[in-house]
Structure 1
Amino acid sequence: MDEKTDADAELAAVFERAFAPLERSVAEKRIPGGVLGIVDLKHGRMTRAIGSAQIVPAARPMTTGTWFDLASVSKVIFTTTRILKLADEGVIDLDAPLTSVLPDLRQYNAEAWERKISFRQCLGHQTPFPAVEPIYTYGRDPDLLRTFILQREWRAGPPVYSDINFILLGFVLERLAKKTLRDLDPGPGFAWSADPQNSAATEDCTWRHRVLCGEVHDDNCSALQGAGHAGLFGTVTSVLDFAQGLLDGTGASAGTISLIRTPLSARRTHGWEKPYEGWSGGERCSPGTIGHTGFTGTGLWIDFDRGRAWTLLTNRVHPTRHFDSGIFALRPTVGNLINQS
């Protein structure tokens, strides 16, 4: 299914060559299906779907209206944007410790390292939190799990990409709003769940004992019943609308847009990734590009220098994550073809 909105011939040519690798991946049964979308401030917008939104237990076609579990793309579309808006409004100081909003973080040890980490460090994944933690194995009571996360003596290590950073930032948003994340407005065109009949299926979950469709795939986000690191659902249209708002300056303040482009390390800005050797956006994007991927097979990249953004949305974990979908090669291949001279 094609969708064109004032797309000119140049964009159409770019789109055709970039879509071919996704088409091959589906034909080779590496992934069930996917949607590619490109928006260019000069040349318009184009989207196309291919393959199946679901193959188990029954097949459904993928469309440009299919809803996707965006997984960690939630970190940048929702949590990063909301935290930076609070900073822009003076509600929080990015260099202050999280305890300025979460005073009960490791409250029984005033010298705990967790009490010293800042909002900015969490945004840039510059904390000692572990990369992975199966929080969902400690129970299904979301309030108890929140308390567990806040009071746990976490093992410290070198800074790595960690969901814990954004789970805590989600707690900040909840504490300030006095609402759970799922009671907050997810933003135009986004939601915290979706109609299973119009969603890309994810995994046949071994502990929930069903094929997940329209409900969050991430185990920790499911157990917490909403968290800052995952859980947002959207379509190719809503993702491109978000990206276009950053490109043309209508979707966030100048201060927020400046911060998401400002490096905090060799690989990261505030919340986002920036180009480095081997990154998901490919080798041909401009230095002014940011991006982020999601475990379910999603991704968004925004090239400010070229005034262009693209999103690749797939259901590569359906029906199982334990399969080589080729997604880690597919993403940069698509990016390179989009940015080919």
Structure 2
Amino acid sequence: MTGDERFAEASRLVANWVDGGRIPGAVLGVLDAETGVTTRAFGLAQRLPGERPMTTDTWFDLASVTKVVFTTPRILDAASSGILDLDAPVTQVLTELRQFDPDAWQRRITLRDCLTHSSGLPATFPVYTYGTDPDQLRAFVIQRDWPHGDPVYSDLNYMLLGFVLERLADARIRDLDPGAGFAWSADPAEAAATEYCPWRRGMLVGTVHDENAAALQGAGHAGLFGTAASLLAFAGGLLDGSGATPEAIALMRTAVGPRRTYGWEHTYEGWSGGETCSDQTIGHSGFTGTGIWIDFGSGRAWTLLTNRVHPTRWSDSGIIELRRLVGDALNR
């Protein structure tokens, strides 16, 4: 199949999902050595309280894609330049972590543990329910006696990494440059709506969906906004080596377990990128319905951005199946 034929087949799948009412809308984008950059928009950027059409320039709340587009490259680049030691405890920067218990297990967590989701911290926690002051909530995360468990994919790992970046820059994440084509919020007229939030009592459009990132007023695990074009440009930078240091890119591609690399996922049976990409592919998805995948073997990257949580997360969007089908169609 040609690149155009593969894109047409993937587009048919996304259109079926939208036409069937499983997701309000989507943008599909591909970066391919054969065809260049191709994007297509489907359906609605917002359904309620009024309808707006999706466009290829629509901004999306990227949710956990923030981890790999913003936080991971910056931590790895800092390590490449000698600013950080990945094998040193997080206390090399966050000296006050669990400061009232010098023997606390949390004080032994390393940056490498956080990047590879092997720290033993819980998957997530409703930090936003513990107050409204972002500085107090940061102190809460840093000082809490978190239970130690089996390694799991954890937002808390990336909250700590975000705090490290803030400490190094002496600034909040929202004050740091997110990179070309990315932002920490978006114009509601140009953004895909996410969910009606009972906590904030309104439909979220152009403001971060993740409650903890909202309460912290910026975090390392979620909160970045971007377009299909900006994600494909980011992917292109990793493919051609211009987007991060060689050491950082190598670690992003290095398997550290059956599913993970540094920050990213690699291929495994049933993963989100499908079964037809090469074994040199990495990818990551976000809760709001976003995702990016980069195949270093073929030189191809693709992004599928949806507003699958609009107007509520409590629906059967079939996003997991759609991601796999699209990945298979694009890599046949």
TM-score category, normalised to shorter length: over 0.9
Counterpart of 1:249, as a letter, is: G
Residue aligned with 1:329, SS? helix
Counterpart of 1:248, as a letter, is: D
List runs of 5+ in structure 2 lacking aligned partners.
Answer: none
The answer (yes or no) to whether the contact 2:46–2:193 under 8 Å persists in 1 is yes
Tell me the equivalent position of 1:174: 166
Cα-to-partner distance string for 1:247-269 (whole Å, 9 max, x where unaligned): 11111121111110011111100
**Could you tell me which of 193, 199, 202 is aligned with 1:207?**
199
Tell me the equivalent position of 2:214: 222
Cα-to-partner distance string for 1:160-184 (whole Å, 9 max, x where unaligned): 0010000000000000000000000
Instruction: For 1:35-50, list aligned pairs within 5 A.
Output: 35-50=27-42
**Could you tell me which of 231, 238, 241 is aligned with 2:230?**
238
Tell me the equivalent position of 1:57: 49
Tell me the equivalent position of 1:25: 17
Tell me the equivalent position of 1:13: 5
Counterpart of 1:245, as a letter, is: G
Counterpart of 2:216, as a letter, is: L
Residue aligned with 1:164, SS? helix
Aligned partners of 2:242, 2:150: CA distance in 1, in Å?
Answer: 37
RMSD: 0.8
Tell me the equivalent position of 1:304: 296
Counterpart of 2:291, as a letter, is: G
**Could you tell me which of 322, 328, 332 is aligned with 1:336?**
328
Residue aligned with 2:38, SS? strand
Q: Do residues 140 (structure 1) and 127 (structure 2) align?
A: no
The answer (yes or no) to whether the contact 1:262–1:269 under 8 Å persists in 2 is yes
Aligned partners of 2:41, 2:227: CA distance in 1, in Å?
Answer: 11
Aligned partners of 2:285, 2:249: CA distance in 1, in Å?
Answer: 19
Tell me the equivalent position of 2:111: 119
Aligned partners of 1:133, 1:328: CA distance in 2, in Å?
Answer: 23
The answer (yes or no) to whether the contact 1:11–1:44 under 8 Å persists in 2 is no
Provide the TM-score with structure 1 as the length reference.
Answer: 0.96
Instruction: For 1:185-196, list aligned pairs within 5 A.
Output: 185-196=177-188
Residue aligned with 2:2, SS? helix
Tell me the equivalent position of 2:306: 314
The answer (yes or no) to whether the contact 2:4–2:35 under 8 Å persists in 1 is no
Aligned partners of 1:25, 1:338: CA distance in 2, in Å?
Answer: 17
Shift in Å at residue 43 of structure 1? 3.0
Tell me the equivalent position of 1:271: 263
Residue aligned with 1:311, SS? strand
Q: Do residues 82 (structure 1) and 74 (structure 2) align?
A: yes
Aligned partners of 1:98, 1:62: CA distance in 2, in Å?
Answer: 42
Q: Do residues 69 (structure 1) and 54 (structure 2) align?
A: no
The answer (yes or no) to whether the contact 1:38–1:45 under 8 Å persists in 2 is yes
Aligned partners of 2:299, 2:225: CA distance in 1, in Å?
Answer: 25
Q: Do residues 159 (structure 1) and 151 (structure 2) align?
A: yes
**Could you tell me which of 80, 87, 94 is aligned with 1:95?**
87
The answer (yes or no) to whether the contact 1:42–1:307 under 8 Å persists in 2 is no
Aligned partners of 2:21, 2:111: CA distance in 1, in Å?
Answer: 42
Shift in Å at residue 336 of structure 1? 0.6
The answer (yes or no) to whether the contact 2:98–2:142 under 8 Å persists in 1 is yes
The answer (yes or no) to whether the contact 1:98–1:119 under 8 Å persists in 2 is yes
